[in-house]
Amino acid sequence: MHELGVVFQAIKIVEKVAKENNLTEIESVTVEIGEVSTVIESYLQNCWKWSVEKKSDIMHNCKLYVEKIPAITYCEDCGNKYETVAYGKTCPKCNSTHTYLLQGNEFNIKEIEGC
């Protein structure tokens, strides 16, 4: 379960931002997770709840909000952009496998709400 490591890193970044901005408490954090990032949201939420309660004073009651980024693949042969999960690495328009992922593998901290 790599979600715990992801959470620890996110908390470290959020605490640094809080310190730089003289925040005394973090109310919520919004993250973006790519559809094919391998981060499982339910595991992430469980790790988050445990970590902020046990490991961070400034984030003790902090909520985690998750937004999904759809996975989109680009075909180099025909220029088609398509849903990765539905079609995988093969372009549904021309059946080419000369494709690459445009988006959907990210994990971003989008927003930090503090006071």
- Residues at the binding site are 2, 75, 78, 91, 94
Tell how far CA 67 is from the center of its chain. Answer: 8
- Residues in binding site for Ni(2+): 2
Q: Which residues are annotated as a binding site for Zn(2+)?
A: 75, 78, 91, 94
Helices 3-20 and 41-55, packing angle to 10 deg: 50
- Asked if 13 and 109 touch (Cβ cutoff 8 Å), the reply is yes
- Assess contact for 7 and 44: CB atoms under 8 A: yes
